[in-house]
Chains A and B, each alone.
Chain A
Amino acid sequence: MTDAQTGAVLSLNNLKAGYGQTEILHDLSLHVNPNEIVAVIGPNGAGKSTAMKSVLGLLNIREGSVVLNGEEITDTPAQKVIEKGISYVPQTNNVFVNLSVQENLEMGAWTRPRGVEARIAEMYDLFPDLAEKRHQAAGSLSGGQRQMVAMAKALMVDAKILLLDEPTAGLSPKYRGEIFSTIQKIKHTGVPILIVEQNAKQALGVSDRGYVLVDGANRHTGTGEGLANDPEIARMFLGGGH
């Protein structure tokens, strides 16, 4: 385990964490290497989103550590974590609905000292649909476009890693495909991605590696393809595999 983490961009090591008195993560370890998309899948309530929030310092970590590029950032407040280069897209409520697309991107750049305009232009290249809607309120966009805004907003900092919490939840299949192909495009810009997903099959399809989380601990680990083809996992999470 420890060997695998050398050189990892982000690693969560034997985390025990939860809200208040409730412990949700009992023993979670995972890591993301450079140029990797890593998917975390698992049933509802397994602690997938909690794992992400623990990186952001949004809940109590009792034991274990979070390490970013060799630097321990366990229990660091969200604002500092973001300054260090972790971008996070929450599952819901992930854009400022009353702000325009452009203003959302500007807010995403809050911790970025300079080069905001140039970065915004890069984001419009990466998400061409957003360029023409730049002056529209983000709340007036469709679910898929909002998700694009949320990802672009998160990428406004020079992200060392992008955390996506269920980016395709509630989206139509068309948009789901678009989001997953965008995720691959982001990977090619050199940003590794940790993604938590309900749509396990599609997520594993684009991922280099995956973790299956059950009851706050990792149960299976493997390559994206390997997990997707594992009959046991198929039966458990991928919707009635044969």
Chain B
Amino acid sequence: MWDAYLFEFVNFYLIPGLVLGCIYALGAIGITLTFGILRFANFAHGEIMMSGAYITWTIMTLLGAAGIVLHPLVALPFACIFVVGLFLLCDRWFYKPFRKAETIKIVIASFGVMLIIRSAVQVIWGPNQIAFVRGISQPNAWLRDVTGDMGAMIIMPNKHLWIFAGTIVIVIALSYLLNKTRTGKAMRAVSDSPDLAHVTGINVETVIKATWIVGGICATAAGVFLVMDTQTLETTMGFRMLLPMFAAAILGGIGKPYGAVFGGLVIGLAEELSAYPWIGTAPLLSPGYKTGVAFAIMVVMLIVRPQGLFKGRAF
């Protein structure tokens, strides 16, 4: 059963697809929450992700120079503080003035924020690629041996295991927040109806701040997971993620966080599996067209089922 084809399929397509899916999912959570609660498509979200990865790298590098070697996941929470601060400042300066204006103004403002953040990152860290981690990541020996003994060898580097674990922890924490805490329930209430939330006495500005905090943490994690995977920092990486993240949010039904997680996994898998040699020996689609897959899914969804895959309650 576990022949060379299946080995290749699982290890070189399925697992990388799920890893990419986790990254898209975390990014899409922030996009979908922003859309649900603030009612606009935040074009700066990819840039926030990217800046989170740069800040994480900087924390690791500075402490590394002092002889303290940090795992990216340890530096991540500290980077989150910076990124959340950045999100809140952006809101205060660029989004809040447009809160009562037509949506298009705040969307254009987010486009401006996107350019500002990317340019600032290029000024501070330079426009060239930076190696996030050097060296080739070895597969986890324990997992390889155990699965190998069972006759279905999985070769997965530790970084991918961390990405899975990190994503699962964040999604569980998010689910707890949204369903069990007062602030989380208020986030769902505002997403449901901002007008009713207003006349219910809910402090909508507090809910908006909570949204930026949650979106900022998820975005930083997505950015760090992305550079853990690619091992390279690039100032354009956030923008490249934007389309698949939007596709994921739309696939899951915009405004629905669990939908975004599901959508992210589907888009990640679809991109990777599109390059599998389903027919003959050549990739079905050249890997260069991966992004096109997300775009195609998004276009088809918007035409056929703009409300997303899930009917009603997927929040």
Which residues of B line the A interface, CB within 8 A? Answer: 182, 185-186, 188-189, 191-193, 195-203, 312-313, 315
**Is residue A225 within 8 Å, beta carbon to beta carbon, of the partner chain?**
no
From the candidates B189, B199, B203, B312, name the one contacting A99 in the complex (CB within 8 A): B189
Bound together, the chains give a CA A95 to CA B312 distance in angstroms of 15
Bound together, the chains give a CA A201 to CA B192 distance in angstroms of 34
SS class of chain B's interface: helix, strand, loop or mixed? Answer: helix
Bound together, the chains give a CA A99 to CA B185 distance in angstroms of 8
From the candidates A58, A79, A97, A106, name the one contacting B201 in the complex (CB within 8 A): A79
**Is residue A146 within 8 Å, beta carbon to beta carbon, of the partner chain?**
no
**Is residue A211 within 8 Å, beta carbon to beta carbon, of the partner chain?**
no
Tell me whether A93 and B195 are in contact in the complex, defined as CB-CB below 8 angstroms, given that A79-B203, A110-B202 are known contacts.
yes
Bound together, the chains give a CA A95 to CA B145 distance in angstroms of 55
Bound together, the chains give a CA A99 to CA B66 distance in angstroms of 50
Tell me whether A97 and B192 are in contact in the complex, defined as CB-CB below 8 angstroms, given that A107-B186, A137-B313 are known contacts.
yes
Q: Interface centre among B186, B200, B202, B203, by most A CB within 10 Å?
A: B200
| Structural contact, A107 and B193, CB atoms closer than 8 A | no
Nearest Cβ on chain B to A56's Cβ, whole angstroms: 6
Bound together, the chains give a CA A139 to CA B311 distance in angstroms of 13
13 contacts between A and B (CB under 8 A): A56-B199, A96-B188, A96-B193, A97-B193, A98-B191, A98-B315, A99-B188, A99-B192, A110-B201, A110-B202, A137-B312, A139-B313, A153-B200
| Structural contact, B313 and A108, CB atoms closer than 8 A | no
| Structural contact, B201 and A90, CB atoms closer than 8 A | no
| Structural contact, A96 and B196, CB atoms closer than 8 A | yes
CB-CB under 8 A from B203, the residues of chain A are 79, 110
Nearest Cβ on chain A to B229's Cβ, whole angstroms: 34
Nearest Cβ on chain A to B45's Cβ, whole angstroms: 23
CB-CB under 8 A from B313, the residues of chain A are 98, 137, 139
**Is residue A111 within 8 Å, beta carbon to beta carbon, of the partner chain?**
yes
CB-CB under 8 A from A157, the residues of chain B are 201
**Is residue A206 within 8 Å, beta carbon to beta carbon, of the partner chain?**
no
Cβ-closest chain B residue relative to A150: B196
Bound together, the chains give a CA A139 to CA B189 distance in angstroms of 12
CB-CB under 8 A from A137, the residues of chain B are 312-313
CB-CB under 8 A from A95, the residues of chain B are 196
Bound together, the chains give a CA A181 to CA B308 distance in angstroms of 42
Scoring A residues 222 to 242 as 1 if CB is less than 8 Å from chain B, else 0, what string do you get? Answer: 000000000000000000000
| Structural contact, B192 and A82, CB atoms closer than 8 A | no
